[in-house]
Structure 1
Amino acid sequence: MILSKLIGYQKENNIFLEGYKATIFLDGQYTTWEKNREVYIKEKRIVNAGETLKLHIASGGGVCIKLELK
């Protein structure tokens, strides 16, 4: 949702960028709210407007994505 709002802002202001550097922090494979709560994965990738990210989110967990201009 946030990525699509950012893309919309750029289109309205005649700024066109092909991608963003995304730093993604997400729950580890065996993380739950009861066990291994401090285990997470840090991943970097390039993302584009309209792209759907499929991410593992543990029960009671979450995800954080930092977007930077490419």
Structure 2
Amino acid sequence: MAAANAGGASLGGFIIPIAFLVIFYVFAIRPQKKREKQIREMRDSLRVGDVFCLIFIARVLFSAIIFISL
């Protein structure tokens, strides 16, 4: 009887970490891979002469302006 309870307790100990990993995959890894795929497709579709905006640089400059004005 004690051996049966010990086996059940160890199974329960594995369910929580596995559930945590599944939740982490669904909410963190999967969306990141989807974003990377979209960025890769966008970069592959760029051709010479295409016009695009570097939003990152604009955000950095805007942040620097706010920091300097404080």
More strand by share: 1
After TM superposition, is the score higher than 0.5? no
Q: Which has the higher contact order (CA 8 A, sep 6+)?
A: 1
TM-score of the aligned structures, taking structure 2 as reference length: 0.20
More helix by share: 2
